[in-house]
A and B are shown apart, each in its own frame.
Chain A
Amino acid sequence: MRQKIFFRLLALLALLIACAAIAMTAYEVLLNRQQHRDQARGKTRILARQLSQLLLWDDRVAVRDLLDTAVAADPLIRYAFIERKDGFYAHTFRSGVPTDLLGTHNGAHALIDRTIRNTTGTVLYDIVSRIEPTGDILHLGFDRDAIDRKSLPVIADIFSISLFFLVLLIYPAWIVSATITHEIDLTTGKLIEVNETLEARVMDRTAALADMNKRVGEEREWLAVTLRSIGDGVITTDMTGRITLFNPVAEGLTGWKQEEVLGRVLADVFNIVNQGNREKLENPVDRVLRSGSMVGLANHTLLISKDGSERVIADSGAPIRDSVGHIIGVVLVFRDVTDKERLEVELQRSEKLDSIGVLAGGIAHDFNNLLAAILGNLNLAQLEVPPSASTQSLLENAEKATLRAKDLAFRLLTFAKGSEPVKTTCSIEEIARDAARFALSGSKSICRFVFEPNLPAVEIDAGQISQVIHNLLLNADQAMTNGGGEIILRGEAVVVGRREDLPLAPGHYVCIRVEDHGSGIPESHLIKLFDPYFTTKPHGSGLGLTVAHSIIKNHNGHFTVTSQLGKGTTFSFYLPASGGVPRKPDEKQPAIGDGKGLILVMDDEEAVRDVLQGMLAKIGYTIECAAHGEEAMAKCLSARAQSQPFDLLFFDLTIRGGMGGVEALRRIRQEGILTPAIASSGYSLDPVMANPRAYGFSAAVPKPYNLGELSRVTRQVMGRGETTST
């Protein structure tokens, strides 16, 4: 290693010295030439001056002698001649002046020094000078090789000194090579160490970088997935309002694709107007950039999508800030609140309906109380008048009207509250026929009944189903274009299998169809037909079909409608078939006057108490009355104390400002009094009326009731001990 460096160093030094020697040699040669050339010019000028007078005196011999002397005296001068306009004047050549040297006079060569070469290769400096005043030109030819030979001693010195220095530098080169070797060894050791450290660091950093890249990638993926998955539309823009991100929900709401909108200004894509006055709203990005804080959209903002569809949206815009808090863009988050707004409206309507229901319930209760008084008094009046008397007919009409008023109150309650049906096993054909007669009385339309024979009985709330049929027939009648027509009311037994399209459990059903040949219903209306308050009639409530649908659902049935414009509509509903036998209406006239027993009547309405007292007295019972629960309880206890207990309790459920029937009976039972009890209420949708036994009653009689109904129920309870409800 050391020798290698030494020889290389030596070679390098030799190279440098050689280069320096060559450069100095070249410099010496050129310098020597330049010096001799300058001297040659001086010599030529001096000679020209000397020749001046000789030429004027035309002393050609003297001139020739002078030229010969100059050539002989200076070994560097190879020739001399005087050029004249007409050729030459004198020269030192052996046989004449070379033609190519002439021409300075005629311009062939400018009056300048030239470097020339003769045929033997000798290089000469042709130095010229004008001789004044004759104008002749003196040429002196200087031998360059001879000039160069003057440099030889200097060149020899240069190379000798170079060699001397080379020899002189051998030992320092050896020392330097030793030092360098030592330094290299040290440095190499350090470099290896540093290299290993660096490699370890690079590996660590590379691993850290890869880990960081992975995490960044995951975060980006997570962010992208989040933005895709988010339920709201998200749009981000830069400071100029140009879109930089557009998630799928935003695509769905605006109708634009992400690739279409990237780089476009938000206003092109996010077209928002006021829902009320349709005026264009300010771009939320501009508002955010202006305020520098989060802003929300005004209510009733309508987003018009690319295809022109409109959606009510709620949104907010917020600035995006970088790590030092500078705003670098805006993020806009918005969502479709069309359904929510609609639901809010519906909720408001529903609340309104609930209020109406409460009101209707109260009115119906009071109304039934009044009807109970009216019906009871009518029945009593009928008993007072001979059956053949004309007054009897009037009283019967009044009773019918009272019963219709009862139905009306019942419908009012049902449609308002959608109560649990009070089901009994019925023949639906009879209910349908009654409802048709009632619905179409006074109408131009006629109803044709097409019922299968031996149609299975159904377990239904006769009043509610009657209302459904009533509503359907009214609709059919109103759909007739000529003010009237034929309405077909069908009743069919249907077996629903597992693969039927109907959303019904497999089994036997009775299907009732109401067919008309009216104007039909447009397809766009069909899907809204059962929505609350949807109506096409100027004075319709929009509740008829809604209530009907609700009733059928509560009977575990199904409601369908098919319609063709201009041809007619068919409403159908399915009710589960019952294996029971329909209860026959009691044909027999109630027995009057043969009833026995002591009955406690409790009702807060004095008129009801009075008429009930009269009616039960007519049947033959002894009556005690109480206005509220506390009084009834006191009388029960008193009667027991007197060993003359009551045989039957007839309690109104709803006592204004006092204890009701249910609470009074519970307390009486707590006293150990087990007298049978009948519940009565003008609020027929009360759950006690549907299931009286659960509350300790043996039967329930809804108000209003006629004498026959009252006689039957009291007899059943007191006589057979059987509980039922009517």
Chain B
Amino acid sequence: MTLNHRMVWVGTCLLIGGALFTLWLGLFSGVGISRIDFQKVTSGEDPNKAGDTRPILRVAVGAMISPTITKQYYEDLLKWVGDQVGMRTVFTQRKTYAEVNNLLESQCVDLAFVCSGPYVAGHAKFGMEIIAVPVVNGKSEYYSYVLANKDSPIGTLDELRGKRFAFTDPNSNTGCLVPRFLLAQKGETPETFFSETFYTYSHDNSIKAVAEGMADGAAVDSLIWEFIQATEPETVANTKVIRKSSPYGIPPVVVHPALDPVLKAKLKKVLLSLHQDPFALSLIQKLRIERFEEGDDSLYQTVREMEAWIKSSQSGHSL
């Protein structure tokens, strides 16, 4: 082997060695990767939070619509309300109506948007107090729509017999009480009438369940069905209303009876004059609300009576 050949072999070996070393450096050594000290940890305090010293206005919204959409449509409105009364709004949601009622009862929240059913329950339990009710289409009432899939042959409530049915929240008026009431009138309970029931914990979820065929039928808040029809027409396009209930008092804005009267008065004033502010008006118009007006507990008497009738007629069936 000549000197030139040896040099070629040595050169080749060096080249391969260099390539392997480079490969190891690039693949495994971690050279060039930013280093993090895992021992240096944060306390979790937000430095920005200390900057805003205003008192906190805790507001809860019942899960009438799914939490994401609720936050999307309510957060700016509630922040505006807080600003009007000189407070920093903290927005709170809970999975069930009962949890929201509990928060209000324990005064963990100052202001809440609740469904008509939970209001009746809260009013009965700790004197939940209405400070305003929304006006939609000139009225402060709403309905329960019984839905079926648009392509299904189901056209009446009776034809839902033996089918799967979606309730919203156990405390929901239109999503649970009204269909139970309608079945009770027929001497049926959900367990006897439907083959399967489940809770979606929001009206838009129930609409999607029918539209997507997860449920053969569902009962939802008429306001929310129309709201979804306006904002997401493709979602309701696959559903049809097969039964419209009697009118009920619209879901109100409530406070704890022990809330600071001054704050309560301020909140009421802000809500009742809200439609006069263009920015605030644009925010409530997204919710299809024309304005707020003073509510009256009598609006919910039908709900209260319906609930009592269900209890009396179907004793032994828990709701």
- Could you list which residues of chain A lie within 8 angstroms of chain B, going by C-beta atoms? 4, 11, 15, 18-19, 22, 26, 29-30, 52-53, 56-59, 84-88, 93, 95-102, 114-119, 121, 123-124, 132-134, 148
Contact = CB atoms under 8 A, between A and B. Distances in A.
B19 interface: yes
A95 B40 CA distance: 9
Contact of B33 (A15, A58, A115): A115
A48 to B, nearest CB: 12
Nearest to A102: B42
B14 interface: no
B42 A57 contact: no
Contacts of A18: 16
A96 B41 contact: yes
A148 B26 CA distance: 13
A133 B93 CA distance: 13
Given A53-B66, A123-B30, 6 more contacts: A93-B41, A96-B44, A97-B42, A102-B42, A116-B35, A117-B34
Contact of B19 (A22, A86, A95, A97): A22
B49 interface: yes
B62 to A, nearest CB: 12
Contact of B67 (A29, A30, A56, A99): A56
Interface string B41-81: 11111111100000000000000001110111000000000
Given A87-B42, A119-B39, A15 B28 contact: no
Contacts of A134: 71
B46 A118 contact: no
A133 B38 CA distance: 29
B71 A30 contact: no
B41 A123 contact: no
B23 interface: yes
B311 interface: no
Closest 6 pairs between A and B when the two form their complex, measured CB to CB: A86-B46, A96-B41, A56-B67, A87-B44, A117-B33, A100-B36
Nearest to A56: B67
Contact of A114 (B34, B72, B99): B34
Nearest to A30: B27
B16 A121 contact: no
Contact of A56 (B19, B39, B93): B93
A57 B95 contact: yes
B20 A22 contact: yes
Q: Is the interface of A mostly helix, strand, loop or mixed?
A: mixed
B33 A88 contact: no
Interface size bracket, B side:
35 or more
B208 to A, nearest CB: 14
Given A85-B46, A117-B34, A118-B36, A58 B27 contact: no
A33 to B, nearest CB: 9
Contact of B48 (A86, A100, A102, A148): A86
B269 interface: no
A56 B34 contact: no
Nearest to B9: A11
A133 B30 CA distance: 36
Contacts of B30: 117, 121, 123
A19 B13 CA distance: 11
A100 B93 contact: no
A17 to B, nearest CB: 12
Interface in B150-196: none
A98 B46 contact: no
Interface centre among A11, A56, A84 (most CB of B within 10 A): A56
B197 interface: no
Contacts of A117: 30, 33-36
Contacts of A22: 16, 19-20, 23
Nearest to B47: A86
Interface string B239-262: 000000000000000000000000
Nearest to A53: B67
24 contacts: A15-B16, A19-B19, A53-B95, A56-B67, A56-B70, A57-B94, A57-B99, A58-B93, A84-B46, A85-B48, A86-B45, A87-B43, A93-B41, A95-B41, A97-B41, A98-B38, A99-B37, A99-B41, A117-B30, A117-B34, A117-B35, A119-B35, A123-B33, A132-B68
A19 B47 CA distance: 55
A119 B38 contact: yes
Nearest to A119: B37
A118 B35 contact: yes
B36 A57 contact: no
Contact of B36 (A26, A59, A116): A116
Contacts of A118: 35-38
Contacts of B72: 133
A346 B48 CA distance: 133
A124 B30 CA distance: 10
Nearest to A126: B36
A421 B199 CA distance: 173
B89 to A, nearest CB: 14
B92 interface: yes
B101 to A, nearest CB: 14
Contacts of A52: 67-68
B108 to A, nearest CB: 11
A26 B41 contact: no
B58 to A, nearest CB: 11
Contacts of A11: 9
B12 interface: yes
Contacts of A88: 42, 44
A98 B48 CA distance: 19
B48 A15 contact: no
Contacts of A56: 67-68, 70-71, 93
